[in-house]
């Protein structure tokens, strides 16, 4: 097996931490000797053993001369776990503590450097111990795996993904608000896979009122994300599913500081729903930027899937808050329906928000389009 293939296996192993390690990164690791995998490891849950240590402790044969292949630079700091670099270097120590170049891990292959300012320096520490280090193997795939972690650890804000099921002519619902179901089964399964991957799913009051959604990943195996609802004046009835089902402890309602101290807020809190006061913007709405800041800083939410509806999606695009957009395009026309981004006021073509196509695939009868925003360099 080549080191490139071994990194592919490490990427697969890293996925085992999906939904369990956040806000920490998903990391996978394999140890190669003479082209054979002799150990595998992954970061399994928040605060748990790191992938490198997991692999080192499960090696089936001698580590002498072996290559450790890992998706993220081994950490050099004491966090919830001791530094992985120390564990790797320890494989080279003689009983008297001195380093023996012939013993233990000879080479480390790293997918991407750790952007966490507190954890950095692992690469240099390994080199100082005489270990040969290569960095950047399948780097783009490693970044994709940890794009939530990278944004959160470098900015304190969550990575925000917008998602909508739309008709060919860009509607998320008919004129009277019906949207169940625009997209087909495979699109819904992929949407649920996204729900299982993120820390939180966010919707506006209009969507809860109209659709009474569950917001969980029912079509795939995975944990229930936090369910974030924007309701400036706490006007939604407490009977809605997000406030009354068995997952209501996973619901966070963002509301104005005034509404957060009312008897309605108290009732929701008694049920286990979290009521989060958020400052208002100049239009008297919850400031969307503040919502994401509070989620990232106070609740350590590293990723949010914004599922709608029209007002919330339009607001996120207008404020430049989306890092990624998933559109599930169903082969139907809705004419004068509710446009996904119909509240965007675009004054001129040059002012239109623009996107890069990242991936396009078939999802049953639908198209699944993944886009990244074109950020202006100004």
Residues 260-299: x/- map of binding to ligand NAP (CB under 6 A)?
Answer: -------------------------xx-x-----------
366 binds ligand NAP (CB under 6 A): no
309 binds ligand NAP (CB under 6 A): yes
Contacts to ligand NAP from residues 336-355, by CB under 6 A = 338
Which residue in the set 122, 204, 217, 225 belongs to the binding site for ligand NAP (CB under 6 A)? 204
Indicate the residue among 51 and 203 with the shorter CB distance to ligand NAP.
203
Indicate the residue among 29 and 164 with the shorter CB distance to ligand NAP.
164
Cα 366 from Cα 94, distance rounded (Å) = 60
Closest CA to 326 of 158, 154, 193, 208: 193
* Closest separation in Å from C-beta 64 to ligand NAP: 55
Measured between its terminal Cα atoms, the distance across the chain in Å is 46
* Closest separation in Å from C-beta 18 to ligand NAP: 23
Contacts to ligand NAP from residues 313-332, by CB under 6 A = 315
Return the residue matching tokens 């999906």: 18
Which residue in the set 85, 116, 179, 251 belongs to the binding site for ligand NAP (CB under 6 A)? 179
Contacts to ligand NAP from residues 220-239, by CB under 6 A = 230-233, 235
Beta bridge partners of 64: none
For residue 73, give every residue at least 6 positions away whose Cβ sits within 8 Å of its Cβ, in sequence order, or none: 110, 112, 113, 114, 119, 120, 122, 123, 135
Distances (CA, A) of 377 to 32, 160, 319, 335, 348: 43, 20, 16, 36, 19
Which residue in the set 89, 123, 131, 165 belongs to the binding site for ligand NAP (CB under 6 A)? 165
Cα 228 from Cα 291, distance rounded (Å) = 10
* Closest separation in Å from C-beta 205 to ligand NAP: 4
Cα 246 from Cα 234, distance rounded (Å) = 21
Which residue in the set 63, 66, 182, 322 belongs to the binding site for ligand NAP (CB under 6 A)? 182
Cα 114 from Cα 149, distance rounded (Å) = 10
187 binds ligand NAP (CB under 6 A): no
Cα 130 from Cα 91, distance rounded (Å) = 12
Which residue in the set 31, 53, 105, 164 belongs to the binding site for ligand NAP (CB under 6 A)? 164
* Closest separation in Å from C-beta 179 to ligand NAP: 4
The pair of three-digit structure tokens given for residue 187, joined into one six-digit string: 């699109």
In terms of DSSP H, where are the helices of the chain? 3-14, 51-57, 84-90, 122-128, 139-145, 147-155, 185-197, 205-211, 241-244, 263-270, 288-298, 310-318
Write down the catalytic residue from 3, 40, 52, 73.
52
Contacts to ligand NAP from residues 116-145, by CB under 6 A = none
Question: 40: cis peptide before it, omega within 30°?
Answer: no
Indicate the residue among 74 and 308 with the shorter CB distance to ligand NAP.
308
Which residue in the set 310, 317, 330, 366 belongs to the binding site for ligand NAP (CB under 6 A)? 310
Which residue in the set 48, 115, 170, 177 belongs to the binding site for ligand NAP (CB under 6 A)? 177
Q: Residue 69 in 3-state DSSP?
A: strand
Active site residue 52: yes
For residue 245, give every residue at least 6 positions away whose Cβ sits within 8 Å of its Cβ, in sequence order, or none: 214
Instruction: Report the catalytic residues.
Output: 52
Q: Please report, as ranges, the residues that interact with ligand NAP according to CB under 6 A.
A: 164-165, 172-173, 177, 179, 182, 203-207, 210-211, 230-233, 235, 285-286, 288, 307-312, 315, 338
């Amino acid at each position: 097996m080549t080191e490139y293939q071994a990194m592919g296996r490490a990427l697969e192993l890293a996925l085992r931490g999906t939904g369990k390690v956040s806000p920490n990164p998903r990391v996978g690791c394999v140890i190669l000797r003479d082209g054979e995998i002799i150990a595998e490891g992954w970061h399994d849950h928040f605060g748990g053993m790191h992938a490198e240590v997991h692999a080192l402790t499960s090696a089936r044969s001698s580590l002498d001369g072996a290559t450790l292949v890992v998706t993220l630079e081994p950490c050099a700091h004491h966090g919830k776990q001791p530094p992985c670099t120390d564990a790797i270097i320890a494989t080279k120590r003689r009983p008297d503590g001195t380093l023996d170049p012939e013993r233990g891990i000879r080479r480390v292959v790293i997918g991407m450097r750790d952007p966490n300012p507190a954890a950095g320096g692992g690469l240099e520490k390994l080199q100082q111990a005489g270990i040969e280090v290569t960095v950047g193997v399948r780097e783009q795939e490693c970044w994709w795996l940890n794009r939530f972690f990278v944004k959160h650890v470098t900015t304190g804000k969550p990575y925000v993904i917008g998602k909508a099921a739309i008709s060919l002519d860009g509607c998320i619902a008919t004129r009277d608000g019906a949207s169940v179901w625009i997209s087909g089964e495979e699109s819904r399964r992929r949407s649920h896979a996204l729900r299982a991957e993120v820390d939180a799913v966010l919707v506006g009051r209009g969507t809860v009122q109209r659709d009474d959604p569950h917001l969980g990943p029912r079509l795939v195996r995975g944990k229930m994300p936090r369910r974030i609802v924007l309701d400036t004046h706490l006007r939604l009835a407490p009977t809605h599913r997000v406030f009354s089902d068995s997952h209501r402890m996973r619901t966070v309602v963002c509301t104005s500081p005034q509404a957060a101290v009312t008897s309605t807020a108290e009732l929701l809190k008694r049920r286990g729903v979290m009521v989060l006061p958020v400052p208002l913007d100049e239009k008297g709405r919850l400031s969307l930027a503040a919502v994401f800041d509070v989620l990232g800083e106070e609740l350590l939410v590293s990723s949010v899937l914004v599922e709608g509806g029209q007002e919330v999606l339009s607001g996120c695009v207008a404020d430049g808050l989306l890092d990624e957009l998933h559109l599930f395009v169903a082969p139907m026309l809705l004419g004068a329906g509710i446009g996904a981004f119909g509240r965007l006021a675009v004054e001129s073509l040059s002012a239109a928000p623009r996107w890069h196509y990242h991936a396009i695939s078939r999802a049953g009868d639908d198209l699944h389009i993944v886009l990244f925003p074109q950020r202006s360099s100004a």
